[in-house]
Amino acid sequence: MLEQLSVLSPDPILGLAAECRADPNPNKIDLTVGIYMDEAGVCPVFQAVRQAQEQLVADEITKAYLPAAGDAAYLSAMKSLVFGEVLAGDGANITAIQTPGGCGALRIASEVLAAAAPDATVWISNPTWPVHIPLMGSVGLKFKTYRYYDPVSHGVDFDGMASDLKGAKKGDVVLLHGCCHNPSGADLTLEQWGHIADMALTQGFTVLVDLAYQGMGTDLEADVAGLRLLANRLGELIVAASCSKNLGLYRERTGVALFFGRNAQVAEATHSHGLGAARRVYSMPPAHGALLAGRVLSDPTLRASWELELQEICARMIDLRTQLSAKLSEKTNQDFSFISKEKGMFSFLGLSVEQARGLRKERGLYMLDSSRINVAALNQQNMDIVIDAVASVL
């Protein structure tokens, strides 16, 4: 039977990272996958996570399954991290399912959405993270795109976005990136989030927020101001959150699907569908990352240490953006100031596919074909090399 299979094209992100790993060029530079790297080129373990891990290893007495919904302390901490003051009251309208990473959260959210509205069309930004369509499409959801990034202005084409989203109707889902838009780094203003809320109220569509970078754009609060505004005004919101980047738990696959519903009855029904979906797909979530995140978020000392380290990381990424945009503008006589205005890990350099591929082949500089780079993989050793390489093709 298996001989019927043909070889699939590699994943547009992970495939390139694998190609880079296999490249014998000693001067290669990997700006592909969104992983935060420190000045030494290492993806660090947060101090607070390290300490929580020592405690966990000392305290852990069992490896029995977690409940299917996940670890209660983790779920409660994630609800308040994401929704904050919107949680006022007993929070009985919010239900949460711990998932294997943000991808797992998107999958559980998709399963619940497909159960609630089997004919739903999901509206996704153009461009978006390339995995959104295959991941959410695997439960049978259909897609339409809305204009988002304007490569000429290097910013959000909000008029185009609002005009396209006029087609989103009751029973449709609009997928928004909570902050640090992947792949462009171009984010909505709070006023624009407000405009989307107006549209959702008038047209009746549901919003799903992919929240993979809370705390990596501006700070833990500002990065969720838009989604909290929606939760407040709409009374219904779905969030797929990840702890990969902001807690550095990439390989521990730690995420959560959060369903902000109108009341406790809705939450109960939603929860049962989330649990059913989890059981069908992977049964119980992995424990280690969530147990660490739960400790870090709920222990005041660990939490303070984590918040400080996260602020430092965020500040360093902003500094890398400032340096890159200034140096690249100077070197090329072109305006790259947009890089310093964007948020999070990613920016498009505005190169053609041929230029991006040429840099890979000739210089060992790996970026996505779309010229998306992971700004968080730059450092003082590789910054000028990257700038020289990019300038050479402009």
Name the minimum Å distance from CB 312 to ligand LMR.
21
Q: Shortest gap between Cβ of 311 and ligand LMR (angstroms)?
A: 22
Q: Please confirm, yes or no, whether 245 is among the known catalytic residues.
A: yes
Q: Residue 213 or 336: which CB sits closer to ligand LMR?
A: 213
Query: What share of residues in the chain are helix, strand, coil (percent, to 5)?
Result: 50, 15, 40
Is 129 an annotated catalytic residue?
Answer: yes
Per annotation, catalytic residue among 17, 105, 212, 240: 212
Out of 129, 146, 205, 366, which residue is the one contacting ligand LMR (CB under 6 A)? Answer: 129
Which residue minimizes CB distance to ligand LMR?
A: 34
When asked if residue 314 is in the footprint of ligand LMR (CB under 6 A), the reply is no
Pattern of binders to ligand LMR over 177-206, x per CB under 6 A?
-----x------------------------
CA 351 – CA 32 distance, rounded (Å):
15
| Cα dihedral 342/346/351/352 (nearest 10) | -130
Single out the catalytic residue among 245, 343, 377, 389: 245
Least distance CB 61 / ligand LMR (angstroms): 33
> What one-character DSSP code corresponds to residue 190?
H
Residue 230 corresponds to which tokens in the numbers above?
A: 């929606």
**Are the CB atoms for 313 and 216 separated by under 8 Å?**
yes
Q: Which is nearer to ligand LMR, 193 or 250 (CB)?
A: 250
Three-state helix/strand/coil letters over 121-186? EEEEEECCCCCHHHHHHCCCCEEEEEECEECCCCEECHHHHHHHHCCCCCCCEEEEECCCCCCCCC
| Pairing, β 142-147 against β 365-366 | unpaired
Q: How many residues bind ligand LMR (CB under 6 A)?
A: 6
Distance CA 390, CA 130 (A): 24
The pair of three-digit structure tokens given for residue 57, joined into one six-digit string: 């290893």
- Asked if 33 touches ligand LMR (CB under 6 A), the answer is yes
Q: Given the complex with ligand LMR, which of 21 and 262 has the nearer CB atom?
A: 21
Q: Is 200 a catalytic residue?
A: no
DSSP character at residue 83: H
Binding pattern for the stretch 78-117 against ligand LMR, x by CB under 6 A and - elsewhere: ----------------------------------------
User: Parallel, antiparallel, or unpaired for β 365-366 and 29-30?
Assistant: parallel
Site membership for ligand LMR, residue 13 (CB under 6 A): yes
Confirm whether 193 is a catalytic residue. no
Indicate whether 34 belongs to the interface with ligand LMR (CB under 6 A): yes
Q: The dihedral of CA 259, 261, 267, 269: what is its sign?
A: negative
**From 164, 172, 210, 223, active-site residue:** 210
Contacts with ligand LMR by CB under 6 A lie at: 13, 33-34, 129, 131, 182
Active site residues: 129, 210, 212, 245
